[in-house]
Amino acid sequence: MSILIKNIKQLLQVHENSVKIIKGPAMKKLPLIENAYLYIKDDTIVEFGKMENFSGVEAETEIDATGKIVLPSWCDSHTHIVYAGNRVSEFVDRINGLSYAEIANNGGGILNSAKQLQNTSEDDLYKQATKRLNEMIALGTGAVEIKTGYGLTVEAELKMLKVIKRIKQDSLAKIAPTLLAAHAIPSEFRNNKKAYVDKIINELIPKASALRIAKFIDVFCEEGYFSVEDTKRILEAGKKYNFRPKIHVNQFNILGGVKLGVDNNALSVDHLEELNNKDIEALKNTNTMPVALPACSYFLGIPYTPARQIIDAGLPLAIATDYNPGSTPSGNMNFVVSTACIKLKMTPEEAINAATVNGAYAMGFSNMYGSITRGKKANLIITKPMDSYAEIPYAFGTNPIDQVIINGQVWV
Ligand SMILES: N=CN[C@@H](CCC(=O)O)C(=O)O
Ligand SMILES: [Zn+2]
């Protein structure tokens, strides 16, 4: 199978050498080729260049991209797309004045999703999650991290992992599975959180490791959920089984989770709606990617992650959807890129870097995804005709995508 895309108005994120991470001022640069061609063989980017240098090549499929922009597919490094049903009633409750915390304290929130998930079969969960994933692919996403975390029992967490495994095997999208070992305290452990953390450490982590599905471990480090001390214990237990941390920190409160993540070689620390100078200092000269989730801030009406402070300190930044039923019922990375520009004051170049190379880094595979580089996987977006790539974030709410190529195949 081979595809030739000709007359591309602008080919974005072109790197001769594989780029793994983009930091600080470099995020303002987005290398591109005007009037370009791109040649794909099987699932791989083989060649690209300026049309004037194109010497002709036989391809089974030819696409004329006159007036259109081509860029790497979005890399969405933070999602919870395996869930059952929805939480529409909580959405309406919030409009009527209840807060996210009040809903959670009344047994709603993550506990509500856990109850629904425990009563849903593996097959049904697989169908629901696949439908969400396919919508994301049509919206330009080619690589997705998927977390467990709505099980809240060992059995249901393992069921979630098996669903993610099936999705990983079947989907054309690249999937990064994460064991979100500690997402909320189940009601039966309300007065004995330590016993629940012990169960995670002694039972869930070893059993999850034996399934060999997830590479990453996550904890919701937050007031009313898991403390820095709980998180430390869980990450250290995970380390014994080679799980690398990717953690939820600083969504509502600054507890010290950023430093803890860095100290435990976290691949990413995600949310960061609340952030102080100590957190910024802790992130400098580390391998940990800060990840902002602008659609979560939008949906919950909480502060936006201070992206300017992060990038202006010379740090990298990734952006992701956080697709989940409670705080972000949307997997639309185009909206995330728009919101990053409009609310986080990122330039279009910074937002596109954050949603491609840096998103891939936050899943541990920027060596194969996130840029137009010979030898990388052919996951691409072909936009509708537009004058400049800044129209992608500018025209928020409009789908900028004409066609998607995923794993070297035209998505239909
Ligand atoms: N904050 C923790 N987890 C999810 C929300 C979970 C839920 O409300 O179901 C998040 O990242 O926003
Ligand atoms: Zn999340």
66 and 86 in a single domain? The answer is no
Q: Is 338 helix (H, G, I), strand (E, B) or coil?
A: helix
Q: Which residues are known binding-site members for Zn(2+)?
A: 78, 80, 248, 322
What does the pLDDT read at residue 60?
Answer: 97
Report the share of the chain in percent with pLDDT over 90: 99
Q: Which atom of ligand 1 is nearest to the CA of 100?
A: 8
Mean pLDDT of the chain, nearest integer: 98
Q: Is 148 helix (H, G, I), strand (E, B) or coil?
A: coil
119 and 231 in a single domain? The answer is yes
> Which residue bears the tokens 């380390």?
239
What does the pLDDT read at residue 223?
Answer: 97
Residue 278 pLDDT grade (very low, low, confident, very high; cuts 50, 70, 90): very high
Ligand nearest to the CA of residue 273, numbered in listed order: 1
325 or 18: whose pLDDT is higher? 325
**Average pLDDT estimate for 285-302:** 98
Alpha helical stretches, state H, 106-153: 110-118, 122-138
Q: Which atom of ligand 1 is nearest to the CA of 109?
A: 8
With beta carbons less than 8 A apart as the criterion, state whether 74 and 359 touch.
yes
Q: Which residues are known binding-site members for Fe(3+)?
A: 78, 80, 248, 322
94 and 117 in a single domain? The answer is yes
Which residues have C-beta atoms less than 6 Å from ligand 1?
Answer: 109-110, 113, 220, 248, 251, 296, 322, 324-327
What's the full length of the chain, in residues?
412
Residue 359 pLDDT grade (very low, low, confident, very high; cuts 50, 70, 90): very high
Tokens read off for 274: 């609340």
Report how many domains make up the chain.
2
Nearest partner of 143 among 374, 316, 358, judged by Cα:
358
What global pTM score does this model have? 0.98
Whole-number CA gyration radius for the chain: 21
342 and 394 in a single domain? The answer is no
With beta carbons less than 8 A apart as the criterion, state whether 274 and 253 touch.
yes
141 and 208 in a single domain? The answer is yes
Q: Are strands 69-72 and 61-64 parallel, antiparallel or unpaired?
A: unpaired
Ligand nearest to the CA of residue 226, numbered in listed order: 1
CA of 249 to the centre of ligand 2 (A): 10
47 and 118 in a single domain? The answer is no
Nearest-angstrom CA–CA distance, 141 and 147: 16
Domain end marker among 361, 376, 392: 361
10 and 28 in a single domain? The answer is yes
Q: Which atom of ligand 1 is nearest to the CA of 271?
A: 11
What does the pLDDT read at residue 309?
Answer: 98
351 and 377 in a single domain? The answer is no
Residue 190 is classified by DSSP as: T
**Average pLDDT estimate for 144-148:** 98
Q: Which atom of ligand 1 is nearest to the CA of 113?
A: 9
With beta carbons less than 8 A apart as the criterion, state whether 259 and 279 touch.
yes
**Average pLDDT estimate for 350-379:** 98
323 and 377 in a single domain? The answer is no
Note the pLDDT tens digit of each residue in 89-134: 999 999 999 999 999 998 899 999 999 999 999 999 999 999 999 9
Note the pLDDT tens digit of each residue in 68-91: 999 999 999 999 999 999 999 999
Residue 284 pLDDT grade (very low, low, confident, very high; cuts 50, 70, 90): very high
What does the pLDDT read at residue 225?
Answer: 97
Range of the domain at 46: 2-72+368-410
Residue of 86, 87, 115, 248 with the most ligand 1 atoms within 8 Å of its CB, for mutation:
248
Q: Which residues are known binding-site members for N-formimidoyl-L-glutamate?
A: 150, 324, 326
Nearest CA to ligand 1 atom 9: 326
Note the pLDDT tens digit of each residue in 201-259: 999 999 999 999 999 999 999 999 999 999 999 999 999 999 999 999 999 999 999 99
